[in-house]
Amino acid sequence: MNRIITISREFGSGGRTIGRLTAKKLGIPCYDAEIIQKIAAESGYAESYLKEDSEDTPGGWLGAVLANRQAGPTNQDLIWQIQCKVILDLAEKSPCVIVGRCADYVLKDKEDCLTVFIHASMEKRAERIVKEYGERPESPEQRLKDKDKRRAAYHRFYTDMKWGHAQNYDICLNSGRLGIDKCVDILTKLY
């Protein structure tokens, strides 16, 4: 049985970096954007379309809140089904770290899966996206709020679980307090 770590994260918390460094330290693959590539290969959709809509719900975040399902499956529903298949296939193939994509939910019945949520204060996340992504220093907070709102709506729509709530994860780490390296150390020890 393959051991898996799934990492959900607030935007700007360093979750992707923590996932990659943890995987490197453990000598196992880390999947994030690679999942988009696999979905594109299986679905025929362009990677650019998938990246743009990867955290959108049918009808946008408002549609997710209202939860009005259409008569038939939407493009996002079909992509969700392929995404679930890709994640399950990766988990079967070998031990790995999977960042985002509701992998915590997709693999909820897998015994040897550690589900992690990475968070940090608004201030720490704002500092990080200014430094790492070149966000304008005057307005990072709104981008953080918008991105997190989309992630929460997407997660809620497809999983019916509240994104970021501690009871939905095995462990929650505050990367703003602990730092990236300490988070990596904790996860490698738990693995």
- What is the token pair recorded at 61? 């975040």
Cα torsion angle, 152, 155, 161, 166, sign: negative
pLDDT for the residue 55: 64
Cα 55 from Cα 184, distance rounded (Å): 25
Cα 161 from Cα 147, distance rounded (Å): 18
pLDDT for the residue 24: 98
pLDDT tens for each residue of 55-105:
655 555 445 444 445 567 788 889 999 999 999 999 999 999 999 999 999
Report whether 144 contacts 133 (CB < 8 A): no
pLDDT tens for each residue of 23-69:
999 999 999 999 999 999 998 989 888 887 666 555 554 454 444 45
Integer-rounded Cα radius of gyration of the chain: 16
* pLDDT exceeds cutoff 50 at 140: yes
pLDDT for the residue 61: 43
What's the predicted TM-score (pTM) here?
Answer: 0.88
* pLDDT exceeds cutoff 50 at 109: yes
* pLDDT average, residue stretch 4-9: 98
